[in-house]
């Protein structure tokens, strides 16, 4: 069977022939207050919860990271932090995702700003951040899990992995490689994933995840072919082949690639993929 990468390559050069075995990931959390279980019932393969957007070093007196799931959470924050715990649309029916075999991922990053500041200034901070996320959102471990934002009583919510959507070009990206390595250490060879969502621009100043993609092996990469007319799916600059060439020289030469498109018809660079 051809690899997913080959299928998508073929699709890219053959007018998007629907590939039966192609997989679908959707980002979830920033629009509306839709129910996670319902999203997992739509036939998708992955749902990526977005976003953990504040690193612990910017997270206030608690030392916790912060997150933002728009209307999926109410204003319940752990003291001294912007870490949410009251998120019924996420926590009510998440078990449906497990029953259907849909992998849940937790995305770190998103739009970078003073209120969504995920700088990592050292390897030690990167390790602490990775450990916090693992024990808070990974499989329940009574020895370490002091904070479990999405647990309801004995119902221990857990993700199947983590995603990096870094949208700021940090001068030193080394701590992010340390972050990924620490998550892998925590996975201990178990069935968990680390994915990446680079934006499509391929110029130095806008290619934010350069050293992260060159320094860490990811299990899946979904390139954002939107929001950037220079390289999006509809304005003539679609640069998928450039990505293949680039990744061939990195630890991600064999990583399956997904074509990231916006699901909203009004987003910049969106493509109307509806069947006639």
- 167-226 positions binding ligand NAG, by CB under 6 A: none
Q: Which stretch binds ligand NAG (CB under 6 A): 40-48, 109-117, 132-140, 177-185?
A: 109-117
Min dist CB 214 to ligand NAG, Å, is: 24
Beta strands (DSSP E) in 191-264 are: 193-196, 220-224, 257-260
Please tell me whether residue 145 binds ligand NAG under the rule CB under 6 A. Answer: no
Spatial separation of the C-alpha atoms in residues 103 and 101, rounded to whole Å: 6
Asked if residue 29 lies in contact with residue 49, where contact means CB atoms within 8 angstroms, the answer is: yes
Set 57, 99, 146, 167: catalytic member: 167
Residue whose CB is less far from ligand NAG, 14 or 265: 265
Structure tokens at 240: 């998928």
Query: Site for ligand NAG (CB under 6 A): how many residues?
Result: 9
Backbone angles phi, psi at 151, to 5 degrees: -80, 145
Asked if residue 219 lies in contact with residue 187, where contact means CB atoms within 8 angstroms, the answer is: no
Residue 99 a catalytic site member? no
Q: At a CB cut-off of 8 Å and minimum separation 6, what does 2 contact?
A: 10
Asked if residue 257 lies in contact with residue 227, where contact means CB atoms within 8 angstroms, the answer is: no
Please tell me whether residue 3 binds ligand NAG under the rule CB under 6 A. Answer: no
Q: Using CB under 6 A, pick the residue from 249, 265, 272, 274 that binds ligand NAG.
A: 265
Residue whose CB is less far from ligand NAG, 122 or 155: 122
Structure tokens at 246: 């680039």
Q: Is 212 strand, coil or helix?
A: helix
Residue whose CB is less far from ligand NAG, 10 or 263: 263
Q: Which stretch binds ligand NAG (CB under 6 A): 100-108, 114-122, 142-150, 223-231?
A: 114-122
Strand 103-110 and strand 46-54: the pairing is parallel
- 53-82 positions binding ligand NAG, by CB under 6 A: 57-58
Residues within the interface to ligand NAG (CB under 6 A): 57-58, 113-114, 117, 119, 264-266
Catalytic positions, written as ranges: 167
């Amino acid at each position: 069977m051809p690899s997913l990468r080959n299928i998508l390559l073929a699709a890219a050069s053959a007018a998007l022939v629907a590939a039966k075995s192609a997989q679908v990931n959707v980002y979830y959390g920033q629009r509306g207050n839709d129910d996670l279980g319902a999203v997992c019932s739509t036939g998708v393969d992955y749902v990526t919860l977005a976003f953990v957007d504040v690193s612990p070093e910017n997270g206030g007196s608690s030392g916790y990271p912060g997150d933002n799931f728009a209307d999926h959470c109410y204003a319940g924050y752990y003291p001294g932090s912007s870490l949410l715990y009251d998120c019924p649309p996420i926590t009510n029916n998440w078990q449906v995702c497990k029953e259907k075999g849909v992998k849940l991922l937790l995305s770190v990053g998103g739009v970078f700003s003073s209120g969504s500041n995920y700088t990592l200034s050292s390897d030690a901070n990167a390790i602490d951040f990775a450990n916090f996320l693992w024990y808070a959102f990974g499989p329940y471990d009574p020895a370490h899990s002091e904070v479990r934002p999405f647990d309801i009583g004995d119902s221990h919510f857990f993700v199947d992995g983590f995603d990096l959507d870094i949208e700021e070009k940090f001068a030193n990206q080394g701590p992010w490689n340390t972050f990924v390595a620490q998550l892998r250490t925590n996975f201990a060879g178990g069935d968990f994933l680390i994915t990446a969502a680079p934006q499509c621009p391929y110029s130095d100043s806008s290619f934010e995840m350069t050293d992260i993609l060159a320094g860490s092996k990811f299990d899946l990469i979904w390139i954002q072919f939107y929001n950037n007319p220079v390289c999006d799916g509809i304005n003539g600059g679609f640069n998928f082949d450039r990505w293949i060439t680039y990744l061939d020289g990195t630890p991600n030469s064999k990583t399956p690639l997904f074509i990231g498109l916006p699901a909203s018809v009004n987003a910049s660079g969106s493509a109307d993929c509806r069947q006639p």
